[in-house]
Structure 1
Amino acid sequence: MSPGDGSVVPVMEVGGTHVTAASVDLGTRGLRFGRSFREVVDGDGSTGDFVSALVRAAAHVPARGPVRWAVALPGPFDYARGIGQYEGVGKFDALRGFDLRAALTASLPGAAAVSFWNDADSFVLGEWWAGAARGHRSVVGITLGSGVGSCFLRDGRILRHGPGVPPDGRVHVLRYAGEPLEETVSRRALRRAYARATGASPPDVQEIARRARQGGDRAAVGVFAEAFTALGSVLGPLLAAFEPTVLVVGGAIAGAWDLVAEPLRAGLTAADRARNGRIVITAAQQPAEAPLLGAAYLATACGRPHGLPGPL
């Protein structure tokens, strides 16, 4: 099987500092040869820098044209038109109004078309299709990093409204203590909270987590406890209404799962002990691969007449 025969989908996942490219084998629900390829992306760079980084990553993927590439990336982005809408989010400002679909269709190897998908949606679909949420009919997934991404699934279909679903399915629009949720739960919020607690210049989240685990740093432990108890208290009423059987957590900060899980569960339980106590709360099974797998799934499934079907 090779990209171009329909059984393998060439994909990319764009983060704030990197792009990862791979081929997804639809038959095995995994990466072809178990490999992906990463290149650095400068979130403050020009459109030319951005496109060049994606093209360099894609060059590692054997794609015999014509093929349809699938790209997962964060919003705000017009996924249908392939045009950036970034403004005031601290990255990718150069892509605002830029036709990324046209640029990539002209530049990616073998590209006949390029589809774009939200990275949080892709992550959760990947975990449902081939990861920690496989076998679950009702799923909520969140990603923790520069912000809070989210996706609400039922029978493999993304829900944008309904009981327990926030506006457009996006948890980041909610508020905590009178402020946007991401002022409490995000990379910048954790660093700011640590700086306030210590009076020192804050290290990155990975170092704060290390200090919490190894150094007995009470401020570091408190930063994680407060942030993720707060997240649980915000998610609790949503999950009680949506009634998922599993909550899957991914993103860079989920790498500190030992510091995230307990306060998150405590916040959820305090919000609704009876119902949220039955939900499986788990870290992603395929944290790096899930966005790639989900983008391939979406690109394939959404080409069918009735949208997303059950598992392929």
Structure 2
Amino acid sequence: MQNIVGIDIGGSHITLAQVDPEKREIISSTYVREHVNAFDDKEVIFSEWVSAINKVTHDLVKDNLLIGIAMPGPFDYENGVSLMQQGKFIDLYQVNIKEELAKRLSVSQDQIHFVNDAAAFMEGEVFGGCVKGFKNIFGVTLGTGLGTTFYNGEYATDEDLWDSPFKDSICEDYLATRWFVNYYAELTGEQISGTKELLDKPVEIQTRIFDEYADSFSGFVVKYVKNYEPEVLVIGGNIAKAYPYFEKRFIQNLTKNNINLPVRISAIFEDAAILGAASYALKKLK
């Protein structure tokens, strides 16, 4: 059996595990999550990444190892070069991460494959999640940011719609966690950190906020998603956990616009990117 590791790299963490390609699931006993500060310098970041990867791969034969890595953009995924010029991982700008990791892990560069983090979420849901068997799928991750991805039956692509025009700003301003934080403050003068805290607030305020969100989210689908003619919409990210609170109005709005789109909520959430990175690497191997 192919030894394969899926890795999800974010601005504050590295999460990884061995993946069973036949069962299409994470081998939970190998799961590792480590804090990594994306604003540290290059050497610190690499040493933390390599330390975490060694914890997961120490019992595997290196020659038979395949590594899939989900990374945020901008990034040259084919060549493994970071193109992030501002914010996180700024010290890795134009560094060939594939080359550096191969050298430090004593593996060939051909054993390492990178995929966009939004696309990895979709690849994971197709490989071992809630949309196995579908061919044309649109995916959104709703959290601190807005991720958008489309699966065409072969590969998932990052659709990068987060900064597309919407209402009087961009899509992400209305669909990410900060919208809940800002709107709640506007209505009450108080602070929350996101949807989880909102669920502890009075029902009237919850309903008002989730109704407004449902209107924005359905507006986004009408404006951007329906053009892809997907068979199904898959939703991940922390806001997806609150979907039951805005589902009814969201679906009603879609129906009014003659959109009958089945919706699936991620069952594996953060693990989707790990599975997706691993399954993408397997596709590249084949």
Task: Please state if 1:61 is matched with 2:56.
Answer: yes
Amino acid aligned to 2:173: E
Closer, same or farther: CA 78–260 of 1 in aligned 2, 3 Å: farther
Amino acid aligned to 2:177: R
Q: Which residue of 1 aligns with 2:196?
A: 209
Superposed CA offset, 1:79-104 (max 9, x none): 1222222244x433333223222222
Q: In the aligned structure 2, how far is the partner of 1:75 from the partner of 1:215?
A: 36
Kindly report the root-mean-square deviation, in angstroms, between the aligned alpha carbons of the 2 structures: 2.3
Deviation at 1:293, TM superposition (A): 1.3
Amino acid aligned to 1:49: V
Q: In the aligned structure 2, how far is the partner of 1:221 from the partner of 1:43?
A: 37
Preserved CA contact (<8 Å) 1:265 1:281: no
Q: Which residue of 2 aligns with 1:257?
A: 243
Deviation at 1:46, TM superposition (A): 2.2
Q: Which residue of 2 aligns with 1:142?
A: 140
Q: Which residue of 2 aligns with 1:16?
A: 11
Structure 1 segments unaligned to the other structure (5+ residues)? 2-6, 160-167, 305-312
Deviation at 1:76, TM superposition (A): 1.5
Preserved CA contact (<8 Å) 1:22 1:36: yes
Deviation at 1:72, TM superposition (A): 0.3
Preserved CA contact (<8 Å) 1:139 1:152: yes
Q: In the aligned structure 2, how far is the partner of 1:237 from the partner of 1:82?
A: 33
Q: Which residue of 2 aligns with 1:310?
A: none
Q: How many residues align?
A: 281
Task: Please state if 1:72 is matched with 2:70.
Answer: yes
Q: Which has the higher contact order (CA 8 A, sep 6+)?
A: 2
Preserved CA contact (<8 Å) 1:13 1:19: yes
Preserved CA contact (<8 Å) 2:149 2:156: yes
Alignment of 1:73-112 (within 5 A): 73-88=71-86, 90-108=87-105, 110-112=106-108
Q: 1:191 aligns with which of 168, 181, 192?
A: 181
Superposed CA offset, 1:182-241 (max 9, x none): 1222233332232222223x3321xx4333x23316445444432342122112244433
Q: Which residue of 2 aligns with 1:165?
A: none
Q: In the aligned structure 2, how far is the partner of 1:221 from the partner of 1:147?
A: 22
Preserved CA contact (<8 Å) 1:9 1:296: yes
Deviation at 1:296, TM superposition (A): 1.3
Deviation at 1:34, TM superposition (A): 5.6
The SS at the match of 1:234 is helix
Give the % identical residues.
Answer: 26
Preserved CA contact (<8 Å) 1:254 1:260: no
The SS at the match of 1:80 is coil
Closer, same or farther: CA 256–239 of 1 in aligned 2, 3 Å: same
Task: Please state if 1:170 is matched with 2:160.
Answer: yes
Superposed CA offset, 1:163-186 (max 9, x none): xxxxx6222132211311112222
Amino acid aligned to 1:51: F
Q: Which residue of 2 aligns with 1:128?
A: 126
Superposed CA offset, 1:107-144 (max 9, x none): 23x53222211111111111112111012122111111
Preserved CA contact (<8 Å) 2:120 2:156: no
Closer, same or farther: CA 39–243 of 1 in aligned 2, 3 Å: same
Alignment of 1:210-225 (within 5 A): 210-211=197-198, 213-216=199-202, 218-225=204-211
Preserved CA contact (<8 Å) 2:82 2:94: yes
